[in-house]
Structures are given as C-alpha cells and as structure tokens.
Structure 1
Amino acid sequence: MDPASAASPHEHIIHLSWAYLYSAALNAVAELGVADRLEAGPRSAASLADELGVQAQPLYRALRLLATVGVFIEDESGRFALTPAADVLRTNAPGSMRDAVLMVSHETFWMPAGKLGSTVRTGETQFTRIFGAPFFEHFARDPSVGPIFHRGMASFSDSENATIAGSYDFSRFQRVVDVGGGHGGFLIEVLRAAPSARGVLFDAAHVLRDARIAAAGLSERCELATGDFFKEVPGGDCIILKRILHDWSDQTAIEILRVCRRALAEGGRVVVVDTVIPPGNEPHPGKLLDVLMMVSMPGRERTEEEFRSMFAAADLRLERVVKTPAMLSVIEASAA
C-alpha cells in the first residue's frame, strides 16, 4: 500500500514521522543475523530468541513490524519465514544487503540525522560535534566502525556494479584507474566487461588489505596502489570516481577532479559514477541519499548542470550522461 495515495493527509504525515522505526527494526534484526537462522525454514520468535540469547517478546514485536512491509512473513502459528526482501538480509545471500543495512542504519548516520534541524539552520553537519571528528577521520581512527563503513559500501555496491559496468563501453580504454575504489568490486566488473584493459585499484592501504582482485583471478591484469587522491592519482586513459565526489563539497570535489585531470592521458576520460538528481517532484533515491550526505558529510548529490559547472572549474568538459538501471549514472568528462 502506498501511504501517500491510500491514507489521509494526517495519516500520511504520521506514517512518515515514525518511518525511522522501520530502520531501527532492520538494524536490530540485521545485527542479530535473524535472516540467517530462517534459511532452513520458519521459526517462532521464542525459538530464535533462545538461540540468539535475546528477549522473545521484543524480537517478536520487531519482526511483526517488519512483516507489515514485506520483510519476513508471520504465519497463523506465529512463526516467521523469509520473504524475498528478508532473504537479502542473509549474510551469504547473493547480493546480500546485510552489511549495507548495518552501515546505513548505523549511529554515524542515524544520530546526525536527528540533528537535521541544526544543519538546516547552520548549513553545517553536526557530525563532528557528536563524534569528535569529521566523518572520514572518525572512521579511520575508530577500528570498531571503520570496517562497518567499508563492508557496507561494498555490500551497497555489489548489486549494482555489473549492471553499471555493462551500461558504458570500457573496452576502448587500455588503463583503467579506480580512484577510491575500495575493495575493487566495481573495477572487477569493469575488467570483466573490458577483457583487454588493465586496471589500477587505488585507495588507502588499510582499505586495500581486503581487496578482492586476487580472489577474482585478476591479479595479472590489475595492480593495487596506495595514496591520497587529494594529492596524486595513478595515470590512465580512464579514471573512475565511483561514489567519491558526492562525499565532498563542491570546492573539494573540484580539487579531486583537478588531480584526476593532471593524471589523465591524452584523449582519455574521467568517468564519474554518481547519482544525477532529476528535476521535478518525482521520488528518486538520490534525493534521499542527498539528505544522508548532508547530515553526516560535507557532500551532496548533484544535477547534470552542477556536474557540468564543476567539470569546467577543473578544466574538464562534460561529454554525456549515461543512465543505468541502477540509481547511479555514468557522467563522462574529457579534457577541456
């Protein structure tokens, strides 16, 4: 049921106001690994609680809420079973979203979101006031939360990487550099789609420790390189920035683009993979993601014209925007 069309205006507003409770319930069951324990078949909340060492009644109530939105289903005997949506919460499910849920619903996003009013008033995220350091510094210095972010980003991206890589012709490039490429999930799909290309996965050393390149059988075609993309990146005729620019302010994003422009081979392309916000009032996941960026980071999601302006400031020219089946688009730029 679409609450916007089926409910009264008053009910619609209330439904939106307590929507955060679905996130809270998702976080709880994902952290506990409930979906993993339902793979063999339906079970009661009491049985699950006994195995997990938690309280049965609160667990039942959280599962009952999620069942109202298609995550789990309760049968007449009070047992819960997996639905297609619940199945992707399993740790070993193809395209598992468990780590993505744990990241997006983590307190590092949740708590600053509760201070959105302050952000609107001041124009600044409250993240540093809450956690004592800016977003990426906090994740780098706290070993308990850093892996949550990096595993979450990998999980968030795994379901989209192949379809995005298949939406753009990477086969015309010889050396593809994925800047801030994390564990390498996207670059792996790019190299599979472009079997004659060689790759460079560029990120911080502590991130590359969990790189997937070797496990994908691509070690001979792809090197790992460490460094700081604010200062220098490896050269290539295709330099990828996937989910990087949206983390940063316009001025910082322009500085990153300038670094990439200096490393770009003649005739090459800077390929930005990010949300492109469409005009109008229609729902778009990028509009949600934009507010998520606003509350925890200095970044934002951008329109096509905003990308065009940033490229121009970095001595680049927007060539085209390629839509993909995912929420992200491929924004291609050449040297101006």
Structure 2
Amino acid sequence: MVLSNSKPSNIQLSFTTADLIYAYVLSRMMYVVAKLGIADLLKDGSQHCDALASATNTHSDSLYRVLRALAGFGIFAETQPRCFELTPQADCLQSNVPGSIRNEAILRGEEYYYKPWENLMYSVQTGESAFEHLYGVDLYQYYEQNAVAGELFHKYTSHTSQEAYAPYLEAYDFSSIGKLVDIGGGTGNLLTAILEANPTMTGVLFDLPKSIDRVKNLGEPVSVHNRCQLIEGSFFEGVPQGGDAYLLREILHLWDDERAINILKHCHQAMKEQGRLLVLECIMPSGNEYSGVKVEDVHMLVVCSGGRERTETEFKELFKSGGFKLTKIIPIKNSRFSLFEGVKP
C-alpha cells in the first residue's frame, strides 16, 4: 500500500466496509498533493492555503478542502484555520527523503497507470492484462514508446538510496562471488551497493538498450566504474555468459511461469558450473490476514501479461523447472522481500 513506507502515526483509524469503497478517493487526493509537491512546500513549517495555492497555481479553497480531508487520515494537520503542516504520515510525500514515496504516488496516479484498474473486470473475466487490452503493448513496451512515462518510471525505480540496501547485504554473504550479473537491473543501484561492499567483486549490469543508455548518461559511481560492465539485451533471448552468480530482483513476478522459466533457463545455461541464482521476490502468504503482497498480486494481473506473486511452493517448482535446486530462502529485514538462492543440482 502507498503508506507502507511512512513513519508510524499515533492517529488510530478504523474503517467500515462502506468506507473502503471510497479508498480510491484517498489515492486520488494523495496523487494530487504529491504531484503539486505540497509536502516539499511544508518542509520548513506550517503554511496557509493561500500561500500553497499561489505556489502551485491552484484554487485556494479547493486545495484547502483536499488537505482538510487528508488531515482526517493523518496526512497533514490543520494547525490554525486553513494552515497546514507535515505529519509523520505526510513526511514520506516529500522528495529526496529516506523512504520517500512521492514518485510512487505520482506514478500510480497517472492516467495511463490507474486506467487499467478501471478495467479490472476484463482481467477477471479473461485472465488477461487490462493494460495490454487498453494500450496494445505490455507495460515496459509502453515505457519504451512514451518518454514521459518512461522517465517517471525511472525516477520511481532509481530513488532508493544506497543505505536502503544495507539489509540485503546483512542477509546474504556475497563475498565469495567473483562476478555478479544483475539481470534486468535497471539503474544498477543494488548492484552498486553490493560491489561497494565487496571490493574484489566485478559486476555486469544487463538490461534493455534504453535502460543501459540511461545509466551511461548518468555515469557509473566512481567507486565501481572499473568493476562494472554494462551490457544491453533481452533476457528472453539470452544473458551474459560466465557469471559466478546471477541476480534477479523483482523480475519473475512480472511474467507467467512459461516466460519466468525461460529466463531461469537462460541463467542456468550462462552461469559457471558452480554458479548460483539469487532471486529477490515477495512470498505470497497464506491465511486471511491482510497482506500488501496479495494486493500486489492483483496489480500484476491487471498491468502485466501473466504476472503474479507466488507462494513458496510455487517458487520451488519454478526453480526446479528452470534447472535449479532451491537451497535457501532468507527474509530481508524490514522488507517485504525474501532472497531465494538456487544452485545447479
């Protein structure tokens, strides 16, 4: 959920089933204030709605009504008539702060991203992606073809600070890996963090041409420049050869079993004989309790062709079909992710 990374709030909220029908209203309001940058304007203290409206070129009374409604959820607080300040729940809507979700709130609120959810019924009736039904291409092809959407997605995926990857480094010992290949690694933030923590390791960042071009334009961090190779290509056609370990972070959940197994087989064929497969994904929990993974699973249904979250058993079967024996499942502290280790049997 959007608020999952925010600081704890002492405001206790309870919702009826009828209240939850209006959940989309909260999401839309959060999109508006994130897009306008309201939290950034309040970082130095309380401001009157007139000042906020002037800074954002909006209608003061209408903006006030939105902020007043959000304050009922603990997102902002009205300190004096028509004056608002940040709350712990609103801090994460700022830009460039630890745990910021501003880019996510904007991304998920853009029309091209939420509109497929209006067609959830299509996905339920057909089992097919509502996104592809609407736009005729999959999500990543859409980003390739639409520069503004692609740049917004890039901002969302690249905002994570290097410090945020500390739990990954604590959970798994990467030190014995000589060459690590990050498959579909995007901006390479995680790979960079691993390389910085392991100065004798070399790395390969492998992704689609536009993603690699973007990394080249940004420039690799000086700390890993001489140890990281950038290679462009598609993991459906093959992956770079000769790695000691292959890393897949949030890749498999984007695809159905057939295509996920295809990716794993390419890794199996490319890696050294004693190579390892490292997969970072969420495990679908059992039972009736709330889990963001269950909601994300429906999101995969809507926006990705065949995408899904998987249970531990389903991961074991996936690894086996891809030629791997699943040897370890390690929960990542303070994260919804687990690290799966696989080896050639």
TM-score, normalised to structure 2, is: 0.90
Task: Trace 1:197-236 onto structure 2 (pairs within 5 A).
Answer: 197-211=201-215, 214-215=220-221, 217-235=223-241, 236=243
Does structure 1 residue 266 correspond to structure 2 residue 273? Answer: yes
Measured after TM superposition, the shift of residue 157 of structure 1 is 8.1
Measured after TM superposition, the shift of residue 216 of structure 1 is 5.6
- How big is each residue's C-alpha offset from its partner over 1:262-307, in whole Å with a ceiling of 9 and x where there is no partner? 1111211111101111221222221111111111112011011111
Does structure 1 residue 57 correspond to structure 2 residue 81? Answer: no
Match of 1:150 in 2: 154
Match of 1:333 in 2: 342
* Structure 2 residue corresponding to 1:182, chosen from 173, 181, 186: 186
1:144–1:308 distance in 2 versus 1, CA, 3 Å: same
1:216–1:90 distance in 2 versus 1, CA, 3 Å: farther
CA contact (8 A) 2:103 2:156 kept: yes
Measured after TM superposition, the shift of residue 165 of structure 1 is 3.1
CA contact (8 A) 2:116 2:302 kept: yes
Paired AA for residue 272 in structure 1: V
Distance between the aligned counterparts of 1:140 and 1:15, measured in 2? 38
Q: How big is the alpha-carbon RMSD for the aligned residues of Structure 1 and Structure 2?
A: 1.9
Measured after TM superposition, the shift of residue 93 of structure 1 is 1.8
* Structure 2 residue corresponding to 1:280, chosen from 287, 309, 316: 287
Task: Trace 1:7-156 onto structure 2 (pairs within 5 A).
Answer: 12-155=16-159
Unaligned runs of 5+ in 2: 1-10
* Structure 2 residue corresponding to 1:238, chosen from 213, 237, 245: 245
Measured after TM superposition, the shift of residue 195 of structure 1 is 2.7
Distance between the aligned counterparts of 2:39 and 2:85, measured in 1? 9
Q: Which moved more, 1:230-239 or 1:251-260?
A: 230-239
Q: Which moved more, 1:247-256 or 1:163-172?
A: 163-172
Distance between the aligned counterparts of 1:133 and 1:67, measured in 2? 39
Does structure 1 residue 322 correspond to structure 2 residue 330? Answer: yes
Distance between the aligned counterparts of 1:49 and 1:34, measured in 2? 9
Distance between the aligned counterparts of 1:19 and 1:74, measured in 2? 22
- How big is each residue's C-alpha offset from its partner over 1:89-110, in whole Å with a ceiling of 9 and x where there is no partner? 2222234321122223333331
Distance between the aligned counterparts of 1:267 and 1:108, measured in 2? 44
Q: Which runs of 4+ in 1 moved over 3 A?
A: 155-160
Measured after TM superposition, the shift of residue 160 of structure 1 is 4.7
1:15–1:157 distance in 2 versus 1, CA, 3 Å: farther
CA contact (8 A) 2:331 2:338 kept: yes
Distance between the aligned counterparts of 2:160 and 2:228, measured in 1? 23
CA contact (8 A) 1:74 1:80 kept: yes
Match of 2:264 in 1: 257
Paired AA for residue 310 in structure 1: L
- Give 3-state SS (helix, strand or coil) of 2:80's partner: coil
Distance between the aligned counterparts of 2:209 and 2:251, measured in 1? 17
- Percentage of pairs with the same residue: 35
Distance between the aligned counterparts of 1:21 and 1:205, measured in 2? 38
